[in-house]
C-alpha cells in the first residue's frame, strides 16, 4: 500500500493514508484513538492521543498540507485532548 506512518518529531507522528475519503479516514483515525485510550499500557497514568486530519488539495504545497493538519491537531489538543479534529478546509465543496 501507499500508507505511511512516521515519527514527525517529539511526541508527534504523521499518518498519510492514500485513496480514502474523508468520512472513512475520520472513522479510521477515531478507531486508532479509541484503541490507544483503551489499551492497558501498565503505567500509572492514562495514555491518550489527539489527531488532526487534513485532506490533500491538488496543487497544494507539502508545507501547507502539513500546516493544516498541524493546526487541526492543536485544535484537538486545545479542546480537551484525546480527540480527532478535521481541518475545516478539508471538507469537500458542494
Q: For the chain, how many residues are written?
A: 94
- Domain holding 18, by residue range, is 4-90
Contacts (Cβ under 8 Å, ≥6 apart) of 26:
53, 84, 86
CATH code, domain with 60: 3.30.70.270
- Give me the number of domains the chain comprises: 1
Q: What is the pTM of this model?
A: 0.87
How many Cβ atoms are within 10 Å of 70's Cβ, its own excluded?
16
Catalytic residue among 11, 19, 63, 93: 11
64-74 pLDDT, tens digit each: 999 999 999 99
User: Is the dihedral angle over the CA atoms 10, 11, 17, 21 positive or is it negative?
Assistant: negative
- Checking if the pLDDT of 18 tops 50, the result is yes
Catalytic residue list contains 93: no
In percent, the amount of the chain with pLDDT more than 70 equals 95
* Percent of residues, the chain, with pLDDT higher than 90: 82
Amino acid at each position: 500500500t501507499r500508507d505511511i506512518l512516521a515519527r514527525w518529531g517529539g511526541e508527534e507522528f504523521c499518518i498519510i493514508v492514500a485513496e480514502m475519503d474523508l468520512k472513512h479516514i475520520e472513522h479510521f483515525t477515531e478507531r486508532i484513538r479509541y484503541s490507544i485510550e483503551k489499551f492497558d499500557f501498565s503505567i500509572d497514568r492514562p495514555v491518550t492521543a489527539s489527531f488532526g486530519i487534513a485532506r490533500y488539495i491538488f496543487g497544494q504545497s507539502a508545507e501547507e498540507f502539513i500546516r493544516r493538519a498541524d493546526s487541526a491537531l492543536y485544535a484537538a489538543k486545545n479542546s480537551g485532548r484525546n480527540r480527532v479534529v478535521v481541518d475545516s478546509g478539508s471538507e469537500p465543496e458542494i
